Structure 1
């Protein structure tokens, strides 16, 4: 049994380890192994992504779209293996930004971090916009029939309230977030799994052959790639366990395990839930025609009381997903600001001595996440942009890790290591990531539409912007704004000395020796 002395001694060792990177312990180190797993799992949150984009997959390939789930899960697990090894070497707040900082040039790491930061912010927006899709039908089940679930205005109000609540909870500390998060993850794992078994046992309208029923859609490479978007939106964020390393006990061991277990857990729980939801569709033709989501399928199978309970369980899972994604994005922003890499870094890199959280970072990240609601056109549109930007930052991170491996990294040992398999894993991760980036960028109404193809839901007011695919516009704007800031201001700012955590690792030693410009 662990004692207070054991925990205290372990935290002292973790703080000393962090000091080798040139940072002092400011965030409160209160996350254990389960909490580390839970925060990564809740970021992935199968229920959230499935509720957001289930209709997209169903209306693209019918029941056959479930086969995109294992394909994406395998690809992402390979990426996770690569990230798990790096997280064992660099247990510092900021994941992809920190890894590229230690293994690449300053400019490269800055742009990677910048892209990943705004990808995280867009993901926060997408998940708080998803909560109304489950919560409003649940509240309707309690008799609040004045709420119109189909109204974007109603969804917008619920999403904004959610954003304010999760921002306040994050301000009051990662321990509070962890308690809520751990409880929510247990509900999601048990609730989704148990309810899925009930659907499979008592509401199997389609039979298991539904997974081969395309509902009349042509099954080919193009349609399969488009149908992958639900799965692609679900299975990312596993690096969150590394992002919160400075608040995790023994992060060199805990973070890699949490990264991998979160992907495995999400694959199993999400796969069972997806299968159960598909077989429970009362009429596949009607579901495809009307673009059914899980909420409609649940309501069609259960009594009002049981359906309401189910939807509240899912709503709780989505809420904790919102919490963990905001927490991860805040830590990334804090990590960059602490290195003086962002505008108003002095404010964003400051930790409250009483709450042990970067309060202003919480406020600023939440405020930025509210900006896309100015042109709100539904959770699905935001999810497209968020997912594409996340995969871009992952790809940029994998390029740097591959370059480092080619130059002999890692020389020093770490608790989690791939050994001779590292290079092969890295190559496959890059091939998979590159293929998915092309898939994301491909202009098509289902997965990367132009605003003029959204049926009037989204318009930028300028005809030329309305004729450009949404992901292209988002990516260009984020990179262009970042380039202007970096060239005019960022590159002139003082960059802290990069401290080599392993003296026998020539790559990090070389990085620490690079002269840094003065402001």
Structure 2
């Protein structure tokens, strides 16, 4: 009889093959694993948060940045799916990178990912400011303009974001089961909300789909290349985090089978849903020229087309999506901290690697990520440039971390990776996910896309990073932040270099998982 599930001890034995004793509780199934990746991308959070940004620079034709970025990231996701099947370990970006390259590259991949995830928690939490004051003016706790680009709006965003981070931290330290229930419920509501938004906006369309060829006066021909590249930052900011299913591998049942599939499903669902949401909003917007779409974005479209009641109901769903997005990112970040601390290559590793015997959760890493994200918000309180600066920084760091996996993988692939493919199976006895003969082409495309987007994201543009001309350093904020993070990481690595090198030299080779026949 064919195998449909793994024997109870297979996952634990598999992890021991990598040199780690099971500590985290395996309570995440296929849907919860999918939800982890989908909620990190969270199109209701990020598309609502960033639509105005993309439209303001590229006009309606900025829509085409979405399929292009999605295609590039899908190449990355395909390579990650192969790795998730072969290395089902928490802190996957760090674990994959050091096994594909060396101790130094792996350590910096993990370090960059931790900084990126902390900043991304802060960036996601900020999105509450986009929707809550639109639902009820009482959520504007600081008097004045609620727009993120205003001083009062930015200050209120910090307050709302900090409160949300406090809540997600409490949920995370309460256990992975509660986290997965909250996350899965939130994702289900988000999927329903996305479908509702798409259908309702299409039924209120003011113009046809040809609107996506209108540049809105932002340029034409080669003159549109610059605005188009800037507007592409919107899609680049959104389509990340699909690797979260890999981050939770040690808490997922049958991870070699489950994680690769949920990585791809999460990205595919987000890509299709996000693309339809963009074109529906462009078709249903009351006006493309009154300036409101470039400043108020999708909340303006919903409220004007669906009325106060319908618009507010959907905005409540968006607020739920923002909350579970923040939760999912914080969870992924805490597992990265735990994974590196378990190898004793982070400051205070002894404390950070402890798992609560009651909840089966690494509590201190969750607190560290939450406190770090709140600190990122608080040091920027009252700064109108907060939104763009934090968002740009966290995404540049994520793309760098991804490149520290895809580039070493390409090098290894040129040397014949993967080896002994036919001898390795999933927990259920099936073949591991593999790109086969297309692997090299996909990997090359993933590397080229990633490097190109890193350059596009990090390129200093005053109109993006410091539109008000308030501070000279904001113009170069992404470069300064990335440089500072790498410099600080370099100092930390000097302290743990010997340990990391020693650990790399003794990396065990995990035995292939061969599921037994179940009668």
Deviates more, 1:71-80 or 1:298-307: 298-307
Over the aligned positions, Cα root-mean-square deviation in angstroms equals: 2.1
Residue 52 to residue 381, structure 1, CA distance change in 2 (3 Å) = farther
Q: For residue 128 of structure 1, what is the aligned residue in structure 2?
A: 125
Q: CA deviation at 1:291?
A: 1.8
1:62 alignment partner, one of 59, 63, 67: 59
For CA contacts below 8 A with separation 6 or more, give which structure has more relative contact order.
Answer: 2
Q: For residue 429 of structure 2, what is the aligned residue in structure 1?
A: none
Residue 104 (structure 1) aligned with residue 110 (structure 2) = no
Alpha-carbon contact 1:148-1:154 (below 8 Å) kept: no
Residue 485 (structure 1) aligned with residue 485 (structure 2) = no
Q: Distance in 2 between matches of 1:136 and 1:492?
A: 51
Alpha-carbon contact 1:56-1:446 (below 8 Å) kept: no
Alpha-carbon contact 1:11-1:29 (below 8 Å) kept: no
Q: CA deviation at 1:441?
A: 2.0
Query: Superposition pairs for residues 187-202 of structure 1, below 5 Å?
Result: 187-201=189-203
Q: CA deviation at 1:96?
A: 1.2
Q: CA deviation at 1:195?
A: 2.2
Q: For residue 308 of structure 1, what is the aligned residue in structure 2?
A: 312
Q: CA deviation at 1:205?
A: 2.1
Query: Superposition pairs for residues 403-422 of structure 1, below 5 Å?
Result: 403-413=411-421, 414=424, 415-422=432-439
Query: Superposition pairs for residues 46-445 of structure 1, below 5 Å?
Result: 46-140=43-137, 149-150=146-147, 151-201=153-203, 203-219=204-220, 220-287=224-291, 291-373=295-377, 374-376=379-381, 377-413=385-421, 414=424, 415-445=432-462
Q: Distance in 2 between matches of 1:408 and 1:145?
A: 59
Q: Distance in 2 between matches of 1:332 and 1:249?
A: 19
Instruction: For residues 189-232 of structure 1, give each alpha carbon's deviation from its aligned partner in whole angstroms, at most 9, with x where no partner exists.
Output: 1111122211111x212332221221111042222111111111
Alpha-carbon contact 1:45-1:266 (below 8 Å) kept: yes
Q: SS where residue 97 of structure 2 aligns?
A: helix
Alpha-carbon contact 2:94-2:107 (below 8 Å) kept: yes
Alpha-carbon contact 1:118-1:478 (below 8 Å) kept: yes
Instruction: For residues 71-99 of structure 1, give each alpha carbon's deviation from its aligned partner in whole angstroms, at most 9, with x where no partner exists.
Output: 11111111100110011000000111100
Q: Distance in 2 between matches of 1:418 and 1:325?
A: 28
Q: CA deviation at 1:281?
A: 1.3
How many residue pairs match? The answer is 486
Q: Distance in 1 between matches of 2:146 and 2:8?
A: 47
Q: CA deviation at 1:100?
A: 1.2
Where structure 1 has 5 or more consecutive residues not aligned to the other structure, the ranges are 1-5, 505-519
Q: For residue 469 of structure 1, what is the aligned residue in structure 2?
A: 476
Alpha-carbon contact 2:168-2:327 (below 8 Å) kept: yes
Q: Distance in 2 between matches of 1:226 and 1:25?
A: 45
Alpha-carbon contact 2:58-2:231 (below 8 Å) kept: yes
When normalised by structure 2's length, the TM-score is 0.89
Alpha-carbon contact 2:462-2:469 (below 8 Å) kept: no
Where structure 2 has 5 or more consecutive residues not aligned to the other structure, the ranges are 148-152, 425-431, 514-519
Q: Distance in 2 between matches of 1:446 and 1:499?
A: 50
Alpha-carbon contact 2:84-2:246 (below 8 Å) kept: yes
Q: Distance in 1 between matches of 2:294 and 2:11?
A: 53
Q: CA deviation at 1:490?
A: 1.6
Q: Distance in 2 between matches of 1:218 and 1:288?
A: 20
Q: Distance in 1 between matches of 2:304 and 2:358?
A: 49
Q: For residue 516 of structure 1, what is the aligned residue in structure 2?
A: none
Deviates more, 1:338-347 or 1:410-419: 410-419
When normalised by structure 1's length, the TM-score is 0.89
Alpha-carbon contact 1:55-1:293 (below 8 Å) kept: yes
Q: For residue 515 of structure 1, what is the aligned residue in structure 2?
A: none
Q: Distance in 1 between matches of 2:8 and 2:315?
A: 40
Residue 346 to residue 143, structure 1, CA distance change in 2 (3 Å) = closer
Alpha-carbon contact 2:53-2:294 (below 8 Å) kept: no
Deviates more, 1:13-22 or 1:131-140: 131-140
